[in-house]
Amino acid sequence: MSDYVEPAEDLGEAWLRTLELVHARGGRRVNVLTTITDPLAPEDTAVRAAIDAVLVPGPHNEQKERLDQAADDLYATYTGMLPLLCTADGNPRGTYFGRMVSWPGKEAGGYNQLAARVRYLRNEHRAGRRRHNLSDIAVGGEAEPSEDHTAALQDVGVQVYAPTDERQRGFPCLVHIDLTLLDGRLSMLAVYRHQYLVTKAYGNLVGLARLLAFLAQQTGFEVGELAVQATMADTQQDHFGGRKGIKALIDSARNKGG
């Protein structure tokens, strides 16, 4: 049976009345007539905002192309430098970011976990899903992704080490990154098995924050919370003047902060 929506002056009100009518009559109707008496009337911003909040449109094509190009340039530049970076002191087994963009992280051509997460998050954004527990980014371990990279989000994540692995500590200290989407905000948890609080921790936080900002920029979500879990947090007092040395560092930082 046909339905007639009471005419409205602007398109927002007309849309809303139509939605209300169809919803009240079961959610599906045929031959529904909606009339807008002044199609050029200013939009109702409240109606527009409500629609946008539900649809959560992804980046426009031109914006997406710019983001893709920027990301591709970053990946290519970094992976091109990987062999050289691996010769630097402290990097003989690769780098954190190298493992993220070219797993297992010693040369170009590996599996790009970040690019896969960006594609996945964009699909979530496009579908309007704003709450989701997402997958991991592998940093520790030696796992290989499956042949089907669309399924690799679940295949490469928290690593299981062999029973014969007796290492107490070593690269990488950062072993796991987890991404979670809640109310349109992308949050990150990073797990370190040994966090050097003087020589490494601040730089790690800067890097993680930039990584989270990059993922949010590439996918259209807002930046949420960044959390770091250190299974061992180390002030390194033996190398920085003992407890007095660390206290002096704290006092200095606090005074500058004030």
Nearest to 180 by CA among 138, 145, 223: 223
pLDDT for 141 beyond 80 = no
Give me the pLDDT at residue 165, please. 46
The two structure tokens encoding residue 155: 């295949």
Tokens 């309007």 sit on residue: 128
Calpha distance 249→236 (Å, rounded) = 12
Confidence at residue 242, expressed as pLDDT on a 0 to 100 scale: 82
For residues 25 and 71, give the distance between their C-alpha atoms in angstroms, rounded to a whole number: 48
pTM here is 0.57
Per DSSP bridges, beta strands 174-182 and 32-33 are unpaired
The contacts of residue 123 (CB under 8 Å, 6+ apart) are: none
Return the beta strands (E) in 23-173 as ranges.
32-33, 132-138
- The answer to whether residue 145 scores a pLDDT higher than 70 is no
CA distance 195 to 203: 11
Asked whether residue 102 carries a pLDDT value surpassing 80, the answer given is yes
Confidence of residue 82 (pLDDT cuts 50, 70, 90): confident
* Cα–Cα distance for residue pair 68/72, rounded to 1 Å: 6
Residue 190 bridge partners (DSSP): 177, 228
**Predicted pLDDT at 138:** 64
Separation of alpha carbons 131 and 124, rounded Å = 9
Q: Can you read off the two tokens belonging to residue 229?
A: 């879990």
Average pLDDT, the chain: 75
In this predicted structure, the answer to whether residue 143 has a pLDDT above a threshold of 70 is no
Whether the predicted pLDDT of 170 surpasses 60: no
Domain extent listing, the chain? 3-55, 112-253
